[in-house]
Chains A and B, each alone.
Chain A
Amino acid sequence: MFALQVPRLRLGLAIAAVVVAGCMFFGAPTSAAPPSEQEMAARIDALLAARWKQEGVTPAASASDAEFLRRASLDLTGTIPTVNEVREFLADTSADKHRKLIDSLLKKPTHATHFSNVWRNALLPVDANQVFFGGDNGFRSWLRSQFSQNVPYDKIVTDVLVARGQGGQVGPALFYTALQLKPEELAASTSKIFLGVQIQCAQCHNHPFDHWKQDDFWGYAAFFGQLAQPQGNQQFAAMVTDADTGDVKLPESEVVVKPKFLAGEASEDGVLTRRMRLALWMTSRDNAFFSRAAVNRVWAMLFGRGIVEPVDDLGGKNAPSHPEVLDELSKYFADTGFDLNRLIRTLAATKAYQLSSASDGENRPELFARMAIKSLTADQMYDCLQDAMRRRELSAYTGQPGQQFAGGFDQLRQQFLARFNAPGQGTTEFHSGIPQALMLMNGQVIVQATNLQQSDLLGALDAPFFSDDDRLEILFLSTLSRFPTDDERPGATAHLENASNKRQALSDVLWALLNSAEFALNH
């Protein structure tokens, strides 16, 4: 057994090297160099503006600098800026400060952490953090290291597709064990996430109205048909590894289906494993699905909805709101070697990303004529609360290479996420209900945040050299990332001035800020 295993493993590694080299070859720009970030951003703006004109729609005004800073911080690092960051950004008079901000946000450790949370939620079922999976810390740590080095997107996806090892370990293998190594689940999940194609409806029968047939589904699933299957009930602790043999059959039949690419030809078994062949095909520059699905997803992360909605169903039925934007961005993403940070810099440099979210009610979100208001994810909400009360260091991941997340062992965080997670639901909806509102008004997290003895923020504000006006500004800056308006100052100042207990009055203002819609939403 062992004697056979070792040479095979070596061969596997050698082939993996070939695969990586192959990807680099495929990923290398073959056509003219892609446009610059500024050129591409201007092109997107021109296409959006042409549509507004055609529809007779006036776009919103630009967001204020403070709004832009908060929005970009939440989108790129998952949390709000510090008081000093707000002050510095607002004081900065340079013309390119927005661009510089995006660059600096992408370099922060919190950027990799946030993206690992977002992609973990896209890739894994929400319950995959359970003990019987070994937890999801190893998976998130691996994702984090990819984003902190800006590993090209095709390489990340390749590594997920050819993952080996144990689910609970550092690495992408949990993607397989969380789906119990089932070819049909892996087929449905990878095609949806990486290709934006929903083929699972064809699993049981040919769908009368859909493009995909049962053979397409099982031909695609056959690429996962040679995973070594665990015995009995052990799939959660299973090793993910390729077997030499294995086939998938049509349901309730003995008909073996050979691996076949979607909308493509059959793939003969040979020296590469089936999963490697799938990875090569999927991440190829010639695969139109791959780049489009990624671009649409990243667009939705910044703009609140995809150019195609739902974000993971690009297969025909759902027309893109801006077909040219999607086409040109997909080509651009492929031509830049699937550079995620460059794609984000480009989208964030558009005028569209800088539009205000203010709205008088009428709304056509698919025109992107104003910024969508996004609900914070459970992770974002928790981190914002921690940061607003300056407690992040107690639970934070510092970003040192090799260090694992502490998050999995932070019980307060786990409890919070269990209450606030909204798997698979759109970000422009507000998901919470009464129990969540009660938790934010009266629960442990908020009690700690506004506790007169425990809160570092309230303690710091007690310093005698601050005026009440200073204190009010700091509270607003540390929660809403802006100064209080002229309308807001008198009421809050009166509350501070009339209070017999200053600290308690400050905690009241902080409580109101943390429970406001403005804090709970990314606008």
Chain B
Amino acid sequence: MSIIRRRDLLKACGVGFVGYSMSGWLPAFANAIAQDPKRKRHCILLWMTGGPAQTDTWDMKPGHANGGQFKEIETAAAGLRFSEHLPKLAKLADQLAVIRSLSTKEGDHGRGTYLMRTGHQPGGPISFPCIGSTLSKALGSADAELPNYVSIAPYEAFNRAAFGPGFLGPRSAPLTVAATNFFQQPQPQQQQPAYAELGVDDLRNPGVDRAQEDARLALWQSLQDGFLKKHKSASPVAHNTVYQRAVRMMRSDAAKAFDLAEEKGDVRERYGKGRFGQGCLMARRLVERGVPFVEVSLGSAGGGAFAWDTHAQNFPTVKSLSEELDAGWSALMSDLKDRGLLEATTILWMGEFGRTPKINGNAGRDHFPAAWSAVLAGGGIKGGQAFGKTSEDGEKVEEGKVDVGDVLATLCRALGVDPETKNISEIGRPIAIAEGAPIEAILA
């Protein structure tokens, strides 16, 4: 049983922010909070495929041999310093809380991806859902017009299960936009488009025009009607409902949320022309329309399938990825702030692991889960600070060591979701959304 501390009770019963929903306690009250439309919350996961180098981004080691080529710069938050290639985010640093003391145990892409995205090591009897599936289920409503979980530009082949709903079932799976599959040949582009093109996967069949689609749907409808008339049980009705909603997505205004052509050129420019920048712009449009969970991947295409995986030539690659990251993320946060949405939106930045502080013979950095960084920002987060500390050489955590469960539990709390919320797994065992201790110091 979770222990409810007096402070939490006071918070929950008092005025202002409520960071902890109490499962099983004061149910009527908790329910009233959940139903308050003003409390609609959103989560954006910025997923860094391949494992980004903490020493060249958020936890610089200037003056040490491990420090590398990049300089440190001041940020808007006194004492907090980032890489010189994150200048726009530095201006927004009062919104960012850097966790510099993350320490995990998986240094393989597939296993690390599963660990960070589900909070659990792979293997064993349970197929754990990814955090996007659990949080979108907790935050979303089952009959919303747009899907509750949208995943933009994911690279799923490292570990498909890490991008899936696990025991929550296909209905909690993400709608994917421009997913990259390992075995899919990249489409040769006739001419380079001005902006990366992002479309919802399988939203239409390119060989079928509107008139043919109409004809197909009319034939389909009459088959459906005939079968449903005779079989009025739950699963045929559910099949029909799901298809009606999918068709509405294909054809209605709701799908316009994904149409970036509606945005002005200077806006699209500001986010960056690549898949990540345009993905951040799409994330903003989706959050504006009430989608509770959006993730945008960086490093999954363009500069190679997993660009953050900088075993060689680390510095030019991290520089260009940082520039993409800086433009997209800062534009996203500024726009959300302008719209009054940032305080209801929590952003988590992370990859599957960090990279070795020691630079290898190919001017690269290798896999390193022992001491690395993640970043939380926006709603529910006390920004402008770094939590935890690594040693001077970056090789180990010296203060505030946290694990993946702690990071995910912190994210839950920032979103107003009880991390102890249980879902029933396929073997009947109840599983909490996140198992760990929230990092109180970075919670607002």
Q: What is the bound-complex CA distance between A148 and B200, given in angstroms?
A: 43
Query: Does A96 lie at the interface of the complex (its beta carbon under 8 Å from any beta carbon of B)?
Result: no
Determine the distance from Cα of A508 to Cα of B205 in the docked complex, in whole angstroms: 12
A422–B173 Cα distance when bound, in Å, is 11
On chain A, the residues within 8 Å of B108 by CB distance are 132
Q: Does B223 lie within 8 Å of A512, measured CB to CB? A: yes
Bitwise, B122-156 to A at CB < 8 A (1) or not (0) is 11111100000000000000000001000000001
Is B23 interfacial (CB-CB < 8 Å)? no
Contact of B220 among A430, A451, A512, A523 (CB under 8 A): A512
Is the beta-carbon distance between A435 and B181 smaller than 8 angstroms?
A: no
One of B86-94, B234-242, B359-367 contacting the partner: B234-242
Min C-beta distance of B154 to chain A, whole Å: 12
List chain B residues, Cβ under 8 A from A188: 125, 427
State which residues 181-232 of B face A: CB under 8 Å: 181, 183, 200-205, 207, 212, 215-217, 219-220, 222-224, 226-228, 230-232
Q: Which of A117-133 contact B (CB under 8 A)?
A: 125-127, 130-133
- Shortest beta-carbon distance, B421 to chain A, in Å? 19
Please name 26 pairs of A and B residues whose Cβ atoms are closer than 8 Å in the assembled complex, sorted by A. A132-B110, A182-B124, A188-B125, A200-B428, A357-B233, A359-B230, A359-B231, A375-B235, A415-B181, A420-B170, A423-B127, A429-B235, A432-B170, A433-B173, A435-B147, A435-B170, A435-B174, A435-B201, A488-B223, A515-B243, A517-B227, A517-B231, A517-B235, A517-B236, A518-B223, A521-B236
B204 touches A517 (CB 8 A): no
Complex formed: what's the CA distance from A430 to B171 in Å? 9
Q: Does B205 lie within 8 Å of A447, measured CB to CB?
A: yes
Contact check, A431 vs B169: say whether CB atoms are below 8 A apart. yes
B226 and A424 form a contact (CB under 8 A): no
Tell me if A428 counts as interface (CB < 8 A to partner B): yes
Beta-carbon contacts under 8 Å, A477-491 to B: 485, 487-488, 491
A477 vs B243: C-alpha distance when bound (angstroms): 23
**Is A235 part of the binding interface, using a Cβ–Cβ cutoff of 8 Å?**
yes
Tell whether, in the assembled complex, residue B127 and residue A492 are in contact, meaning their CB atoms are under 8 Å apart.
Answer: no
Question: Quick check: B427 and A373 within 8 Å, CB to CB?
Answer: no
Choose, from B41-49, B245-253, B298-306, B346-354, the stretch at the interface.
B245-253
Contact, CB under 8 Å: B124 / A179: yes
Residues of B within 8 A of A (CB): 108, 110-111, 122-127, 147, 156, 159-161, 164, 166-167, 169-176, 181, 183, 200-205, 207, 212, 215-217, 219-220, 222-224, 226-228, 230-236, 238-240, 242-243, 245-247, 249-250, 425-429
Shortest Cβ gap from B430 to chain A (Å): 11
Apart from A132-B122, A438-B249, list 17 A-B contacts with CB within 8 A.
A125-B125, A125-B126, A130-B161, A185-B125, A189-B427, A357-B231, A363-B233, A373-B233, A418-B161, A420-B170, A424-B427, A430-B234, A435-B174, A438-B201, A443-B202, A491-B222, A517-B224
A425 within 8 A of B: yes
Contact B123 A434 (CB under 8 A): no
**How far, in whole Å, are A358 and B166 apart by their CA atoms in the complex?**
32
Query: What is the distance, in angstroms, from B294's C-beta to the closest C-beta of chain A?
Result: 15
